[in-house]
Amino acid sequence: MYSIIRLLIGGIFLLCAIIMIKKSNAVKKKLLVILAAIGAVVLTMALAFVPFENLFVTFHSPEAAYGYFTGETNIRIVVEGQQSDYVVGGSGDKNVSLIVPKTNDGWKVGIGADTKLVSQSIQDGIVLYVYRYQNTNEYYLTVFDTNGGTSEITDCMGSEFYPVAQANAALDKEFVTYYSYLPNPDPSYWISVNNITITPFEE
């Protein structure tokens, strides 16, 4: 719905511009129509980064806010934070994740540009990503073992790791991605995955 509304706004802008151009006394109307079309495209793209719905819409759940932005209705997991939630959905072997901000009244629209990848580690087949929501202390971590199967995970914060399993028919294996919330982690933070210790914030 998020993208559809922006396409509609861009379409209405273009339609109104064309009507005004045709009714005007302009000489180079064809050129003006082309410029109007370019303006409609630019407007649509710019609005993709402006969740103006947050001024007047509050969603009753993180799943609803996620679905509005992504169009995805199959929710796999919600990792709860304090100021935001990390929602993962998708179908088949495709995961679509989004950090959704929340208020005292409910959840707002989150956009991908608000999510920052602050760390990426690959060690012995273990792939680890750490994301941060805007400039807050809300961090989320994903862990994936490319060797397949479940993983034994602990960290220095005693975090809880939530698994999402997906079967790969071609490889005849099950792969599990783990998600966790990290509130304001220390630079010395470490995580152990199958006895492999990773320190994602160390340079």
CB atoms within 10 A of CB 89: 21
First to last CA, the chain: 41
Query: Which run of H or of E encompasses 20?
Result: helix 2-23
Long-range contacts of range 40-46, CB-CB < 8 Å, 24 or more positions apart?
40/10, 40/11, 40/13, 40/14, 41/10, 43/9, 43/10, 43/13, 44/6, 44/7, 44/9, 44/10
Q: What is the pLDDT of residue 40?
A: 92
Question: What is the dihedral sign for C-alpha 106, 112, 115, 119?
Answer: positive
Q: What is the pLDDT of residue 56?
A: 87
Q: Which of 194, 123, 188 is nearest to 152 (CA)?
A: 194
| Angle (CA) 62 63 69, round 5° | 90
Q: What is the pLDDT of residue 150?
A: 86
Instruction: Please name the amino acid found at residue 194.
Output: N
Q: What is the pLDDT of residue 203?
A: 64
The SS3 of residue 108 is: coil
Q: What is the pLDDT of residue 178?
A: 94
Please, what are the averages of pLDDT over each run of 10 residues along the chain (203 residues)?
Answer: 88 90 81 91 89 89 92 91 92 84 92 90 92 93 89 92 84 87 92 92 75
Instruction: Please name the amino acid found at residue 88.
Output: V
The SS3 of residue 36 is: helix
